Amino acid sequence: MDNKISATSGGSVKVGDFHINRMGFGAMRITGDGIWGEPKDRESAKQVLQRAVELDINLIDTADAYGPEVSENLIREALHPYQGVVIATKGGLTRGGPNEWTPDCSPAHLKEACDASLQRLGVERIDLYQLHTVDSNVPFEDSYQTLLDLQREGKIRHIGLSNIEPEHFKTAMEMGEFVSVQNNYNIFNREHEDILNLCEQNGIAFIPYFPVGGGQSDMQQSVLQSVADKHGVTTHQVALAWLLAHSPVMLPIPGTSTIAHLEENVAATNIQFDPEDLDALERVAG
């Protein structure tokens, strides 16, 4: 691998009218345990965010539910006024305590959530605002129409969707424009390959959360370890580099609370697989 660490090494993908380097940063884990409350060290959390931008990461992904509110507040403290970096946030999940997540994608809640995120981030318009989930108690069309309305009001520049199925994708395409989809996806779990294919066909960025995966079998781990040893990297780096190689619209956003791990993640953009590597890695899906 090249010794230079920069998110530009992974190439870029269009997200609306932005050109985003294909290694973003997910700001969920800069909060407290259970994604609840303040981090143990606020200054360290802010330093991680600042280092991400130094490494040419130009997409920071967060949500009002991370903390709740904590992640957005830290981003503003560390990075405002956001020179050269896109801040993406989400609304539609509420929190009752550590590791508790309750959907509320009602129009009233989404409007309140968007206004609150605007204030916390210190902006007049959010560059990328994502519907965090689909709420079984609210018609998807109502939730998505609310984001379209907020966009027309000038509060949102671009709309993204998260945790959707193909029917939501197709409905949203008929109603208006969105520029990204954020679903669970990694080398071991390719359940949403159909959504990825739709994104590729329509020029929409695919943002895989949980991008490294977990719970793999000994056989799967052995394959990754073999490729990692060949390139002198970690298995986590192999998993991230595979995402970049797998699709040109892929935009991983691995999160971390340490600078060392952040730099390791960004260094994965330097890994170049040969056909033998890719053939082996394609076979490790669960």
Residue in 194, 244, 198, 238 with CA at minimum distance from that of residue 216? 238
Question: How many of the other CB atoms lie within 10 Å of CB of 281?
Answer: 22
**DSSP string of the chain?**
--S---GGGG-EEEETTEEEES--EETTTTSSGGGBS--S-HHHHHHHHHHHHHTT--EEE--TTTBTTHHHHHHHHHHTT-TT-EEEEEESEE-SSTT--EE---HHHHHHHHHHHHHHHT-SSEEEEEE----TTS-HHHHHHHHHHHHHTTSEEEEEEES--HHHHHHHHHH----EEEEE--SS--TTHHHHHHHHHHT-EEEEESTT-----HHHHHHHHHHHHHHTS-HHHHHHHHHHHH-TTB------SSHHHHHHHHHGGG----HHHHHHHHTT--
Check if 66 is active-site: yes
Residue in 171, 170, 100, 93 with CA at minimum distance from that of residue 135? 93
Largest CA distance in the chain: 53
CB distance 79 to 30 below 8 Å: no
Catalytic residue among 66, 129, 144, 209: 66
Question: How far is it, in rounded angstroms, from Cα 149 to Cα 156?
Answer: 9
Catalytic residue list: 66
